[in-house]
Structure 1
């Protein structure tokens, strides 16, 4: 009897951990006991059978300055990950998102195990910044699993075989969301205006964005004391968010991960830190304002590399600013309060923005097959084509 396929999955932050878990479940559903996993990830991947040799929390960094500060930790964890690959000799390695970490891991494993297929799951957003990364990735891995059709040409031009699998964020199951129960459990009237604040999933985002949001919401509360406020405190940053919101001078309802989608559907308007959450909010039908701040020095270094017009994916897909984006110097409490206030005051504007957000999601591939299943098919196909052995994806 041949041994099970051994697949190594590597993720370095919460979003990648969720993707890795979905891929592991899909592969297990296809192959049962004929697949085994090793790798690096968080709690969701651990629950799916991928035991990580170290905590990935310290690897969740964004920005050049933050990256420099974390360089020593990243370098050690790259070495640890490559050593795990050398010890386990997997049939394929899937490197999930987290460009700075996974590109280093790819190069280290390629040097040590040149015949092992390397698959990147989620490419860098070269349409938004640093298009040269497409060539770098093409020289480091064998295959890319891209989330959106508009990603593929950038990498295929550099000779990197690419499969578009779609985004899991477009396939979130919100059938269990109960906005009425969410409001009722917190004593929020059915017709009361509710602002949902989503400050981010990285420690640096919480540190930079929550003070700005606190002041912006304070201004909105002064304009309308009846405004209800809820703040999502989810994942690895939940304790940090909870502690910061506790000191706010007005009441804010804290939202745990388990009630996030109910809160999104219950919200009149959302104020969100740029990221995957914007897609989830659009799926929930919530009109939103998007914001982001980097450390000033990081932004000064990175700004010349920004080539995309929009930071939000559905804005990029539609080619227009459907959801207002206030980034860096534009992300002031006054401007955020003004943008959110306009939506709170205008039901027609809210309905129009929500409809345009939904149409943009269709352009992104909302009706496709489950991304985890497509990703599993592609991983098995790469193994078959590269190794000439192993179970067929058909």
Structure 2
């Protein structure tokens, strides 16, 4: 019997977990369940595809310079765990998904441990926005890049790294089966009552820094709008921390963990208060207007202000080259500021409609309507492995 292709997938954050699960599904569809097996590191979505992670990836969901320094010993311990997994399972290819800080070190360590192992990076560092030198660093560390942004390729071509633009899976998210009435029934809200979505992020540091300010904004909104329903879709990586914080809020909020209900909530939401990240693209696809907030460590933010080229951090706004969704960053992210921007949208249906239309136009500029990115990534990966196998046999 032919040995199945063994693919190692490594995702250290919730967004990467979703990408890994999508790629695993697409590879199984193309190759057959018996022809491919998966090992690696991931979260709940990859676990649903049979990938048993040796540790909770919440330990690696780190952002910020100071936070990264504090977490360095823990991250290096998890790096050793991942290397041990690779040594034990002997994969035919390793696909390292997003999470630059962890996965660049993992790529370098895997290269030393198993020099012949093909290494693939899925999601490029945003060299078009800041730190272009990372293109050269990645080219030295891996053999192939699956890119999700069209602006990536020229940078990596110059660095000598073969890459394929596969599209952004967030743009392919399908809300056609989402049922806003199901969400309203689940939380006991009538069809005409407004719903505020609160999405505080998927990293522990975001729950610590962003969620308290979001709470201040929601408290003000609830004081002036008694019929406002508050729904908090929680990422699996931080669900327990989110529930613990929401339990202490002086008003009722509904924490949603079920994936189908999360989709329902995005379609049902009147307005969303969202932490900057992949979720902003998903909200736009669901047709929900949003206000975006973010806060990181002061040192990290200071460096990013010096290095980051675009005028906005939200991909929608970068694509539109204007503030389609209002952004409140760092010290500008206050409860009052967020509340006023959110209230304006709750109270003005014309403003909501105009923002939804602009969000939709930005999605088109980002590449909405492309073939399924997970399928494109699977096709590109299989083709790459074929070329690598041919080159190895020729040698």
For the aligned pair, the TM-score class normalised by the smaller chain equals over 0.9
Alignment of 1:6-45 (within 5 A): 6-32=6-32, 33-45=34-46
Alignment of 1:298-309 (within 5 A): 298-309=300-311
Distance 1:77 1:313, change over 3 A: same
Q: Quote the residue 1:164 is aligned against.
A: 165
Q: Quote the residue 2:68 is aligned against.
A: 67
Q: Quote the residue 2:110 is aligned against.
A: 109
Q: Quote the residue 1:260 is aligned against.
A: 262
Distance 1:55 1:267, change over 3 A: closer
Deviations 1:239-274 (A, max 9, x none): 211221122122222222331111111111110001
C-alpha deviation, 1:369, in angstroms:
1.2
Q: Quote the residue 1:326 is aligned against.
A: 328
C-alpha deviation, 1:286, in angstroms:
0.4
C-alpha deviation, 1:389, in angstroms:
7.8
Paired with 1:132 and 1:164, the residues of 2 have a C-alpha distance of 20
Paired with 1:214 and 1:55, the residues of 2 have a C-alpha distance of 27
Deviations 1:124-156 (A, max 9, x none): 122333222122112211111111212222222
Q: Quote the residue 1:273 is aligned against.
A: 275
How many residue pairs match? The answer is 390
Greater CA deviation, 76-85 or 369-378? 76-85
Matching of residue 228 in structure 1 with residue 242 in structure 2: no
CA RMSD of the aligned region, Å? 1.9
C-alpha deviation, 1:296, in angstroms:
2.7
Greater CA deviation, 226-235 or 311-320? 226-235
C-alpha deviation, 1:306, in angstroms:
2.2
Q: Quote the residue 1:213 is aligned against.
A: 214
Paired with 1:134 and 1:309, the residues of 2 have a C-alpha distance of 22
Greater CA deviation, 96-105 or 200-209? 200-209
Long gaps (5+) in structure 2: none
Paired with 2:370 and 2:161, the residues of 1 have a C-alpha distance of 23
Alignment of 1:41-190 (within 5 A): 41-190=42-191
Paired with 1:61 and 1:11, the residues of 2 have a C-alpha distance of 13
Paired with 1:2 and 1:220, the residues of 2 have a C-alpha distance of 61
Q: TM-score, normalised by structure 1?
A: 0.93
Any conservation in 1 of the 2:13–2:237 contact (CA below 8 Å)? no
Long gaps (5+) in structure 1: none
Q: TM-score, normalised by structure 2?
A: 0.93
